[in-house]
Structure 1
Amino acid sequence: MKIGELSRQTGVPVETIRYFEKIGLMPEPDRGDNGYRSYREEHLDRLLFIRRCRNLDMAQDEIRELIRLAEKPTADCSDVNELLARHLSHVRARLRELTSLEQILVNLQDACSDPGTIRECGILGSLSEELTNIPEPQDDNHVPGSHKPGHHD
């Protein structure tokens, strides 16, 4: 099948499919005499797997590790379980960060419950001091190199 059909079947944009090929998450497709990519069922399966992992907010390195582990079907699955445990820990840490952020935003909104002028706005007045209380993201429970600030997966 051609890349457009693969895109339609998976809901993954063509550009993203090419990107996944470029970074090695997708196997290289065959190319016809005309130079067009030709995808097989294994490409469809891999792309759906990647999409499901991304829907779980897994980083590229985590997905790459899962693919590597999946290529050893008779191996012990404890490595997969450990990877998932690290990811779950990351998700829980992010939930704590979001809960803290929510409370800071609620406090800011409470600072300006009465209508007034911008000069009297409690939100703008306390914004710089409130933001210093936001905890730094924790990155120690993830596959190395994933989910770092400024790192886009």
Structure 2
Amino acid sequence: MRIGELSKSTGVDIETIRFYEKSGLLPPPARSENGYRDYAHPHLERLAFIRHCRALDMSLADVSLLLGSLESRDPEVLGRVDGLVASQLGKVRARLQSMRALEAQLVALQTRCDADHGAHACGILQELVSAAHGEACACHETPPGLRASLQD
């Protein structure tokens, strides 16, 4: 199959497929007589594997390690695979915690809006301006270093 067909079958952009080839994640395909790339079913499977790993937010280095581990039965290699997934899970959990904190900050900021925009100044904007001046706001305590540097 040609690169366009491979792209359509996997949902991976043509330029990304070429990048994966150049980086060694996807082996180079055979070439037809007219010079076009001729991808086979193993390319499709490997690209789907790469796409799935990327959907799990794994780095290209991690994907490469996983691809290199596919045929292994070595307990040490398989242990590295387990460690990689555990590490990725830790990163996701840390981001979730960060996102929950961000959500709480935005909720605190939103409480400053009384929705009567015709009668009052915008409480959200007032809070953001206060923070920019080094004052505490509804969503953050002001770091002491920021307060001092803004007063200089």
Q: Using structure 2 for the length normalisation, give the TM-score.
A: 0.77
TM-fit CA distance, 1:13: 2.0
Larger C-alpha radius of gyration, 1 or 2? 2
Partners of 1:30 and 1:109 in 2: CA distance:
58
TM-fit CA distance, 1:24: 2.2
TM-fit CA distance, 1:119: 7.8
The one-character-per-residue Cα deviations of 1:57-78 (angstroms, maximum 9, x if unpaired) are 21212111111222x4221111
Change in 2 beyond 3 A, CA 1:3/1:108: same
Letter aligned with residue 29 of structure 1: P
Counterpart position of 1:61: 61
Give the structure with the higher percent helix. Answer: 2
Q: Secondary structure in 1 aligned to 2:108? A: helix
Counterpart position of 1:39: 39
Q: Which runs of 5+ in 1 are unaligned?
A: 134-153
Equivalent positions of 1:131-142 (< 5 A) are none
Equivalent positions of 1:4-153 (< 5 A) are 4-70=4-70, 72-76=71-75, 77-116=78-117, 120-127=121-128, 129=131
The one-character-per-residue Cα deviations of 1:66-110 (angstroms, maximum 9, x if unpaired) are 11222x422111111000000000000000011011111111111
Partners of 1:101 and 1:18 in 2: CA distance:
37
Q: Which runs of 5+ in 2 are unaligned?
A: 132-136, 142-152
Partners of 1:132 and 1:116 in 2: CA distance:
24
Change in 2 beyond 3 A, CA 1:116/1:46: same
The one-character-per-residue Cα deviations of 1:23-57 (angstroms, maximum 9, x if unpaired) are 22211112223221111121111100011111212
Q: Secondary structure in 1 aligned to 2:61? A: helix
Change in 2 beyond 3 A, CA 1:120/1:81: same
How many residue pairs get aligned? The number is 132
CA RMSD of aligned residues (A): 2.1
Partners of 1:96 and 1:111 in 2: CA distance:
24
Structure scoring higher RCO (CA < 8 A, sep ≥ 6) equals 1
**Are the aligned partners of 2:105 and 2:140 in contact in 1 as well (CA < 8 Å)?**
no
Q: Using structure 1 for the length normalisation, give the TM-score.
A: 0.76
